[in-house]
Amino acid sequence: MRYAVHLLACIMLLAGCAHLEVPTRNVYPFRAEFVAQGSIQGRSMNTSGALYLTSRDTGIIQTYLNGGLPSHTIDIQAGKLVIKDLWGKEMDNLQLPVTGVAGLVAGDMPVQRYLYKQCVPGGMKVVYSWGALHVDSATLPREVHVSGSMPLDLFFKPAGKNVTMEVNYGTDAITIRFEVMQGGRWTSS
């Protein structure tokens, strides 16, 4: 009997976990231009482009060739990235570790329920089933850590409305500098 009561209390605790509420007014649409530099699979990469998010899990990314001609388009749909070439032909698709993670670029929070949170210097660490998110006192993302066979680590460094995102995925390392044109929550930092 005691075991059943303990189990029921744990289930109720997990079922009742909240998610982080942040204001979403004027966050979307989120538009930004970006420059990305780094190394992917041992090859150097340097590209520029634009990002348009209509919600925390839908949007579009375009990368440009020299002269401004689009080279690739990436559709973001509920946790899936569909990569298309210049003519719209699907080249590849990737599954993101969690839906809503694209909204982090706009300073938005995932809506998944978290397991627990704890205060840390300068903010809070929020632990989800998929990984950990560090937020500052304004509930803006600062770090994301997703463990797995290839760990994913994101570091956000806002400067006014703009933000730099450092991405480490296995041995790949990319730095993306976003110049925010519309929306987002970064001005509150």
User: What is residue 78's predicted lDDT score, i.e. its pLDDT?
Assistant: 81
C-alpha dist (Å) from residue 129 to 115, 133, 134:
7, 11, 14
Residues 6 or more apart whose CB falls under 8 angstroms from that of 155 comprise 142, 143, 165, 166
Q: Average pLDDT of the chain?
A: 84
* Confidence grade of residue 39 (pLDDT, cut at 50, 70, 90): very high
For the segment 85-104, the average pLDDT, to the nearest whole number, is: 84
Q: Strands, E, within the chain: which ranges?
A: 30-40, 43-55, 58-64, 70-77, 80-84, 90-95, 116-120, 123-127, 132-136, 141-146, 152-159, 162-169, 172-182
User: What is residue 3's predicted lDDT score, i.e. its pLDDT?
Assistant: 45
CATH T-level assignment (fold) for domain 2-188:
outer membrane lipoprotein receptor (LolB), chain A (2.50.20)
The string of pLDDT tens digits covering residues 140-189 is: 999 999 888 888 899 999 998 899 999 998 889 999 999 999 999 997 55
For the segment 133-138, the average pLDDT, to the nearest whole number, is: 93
User: What is residue 188's predicted lDDT score, i.e. its pLDDT?
Assistant: 58
Query: What is the C-alpha separation between 145 and 131, in angstroms, rounded?
Result: 6
Token digits of residue 171: 């041995």
* Confidence grade of residue 19 (pLDDT, cut at 50, 70, 90): low
Closest CA to 30 of 84, 108, 112, 137: 108
* Confidence grade of residue 47 (pLDDT, cut at 50, 70, 90): very high
What is the residue extent of each domain of the chain? 2-188
Least reliable range by pLDDT among 48-57, 68-77, 92-101: 92-101
Give the number of C-alpha atoms closer than 13 A to the C-alpha of residue 141, restricted to the C-beta side.
Answer: 26
User: What is residue 159's predicted lDDT score, i.e. its pLDDT?
Assistant: 92
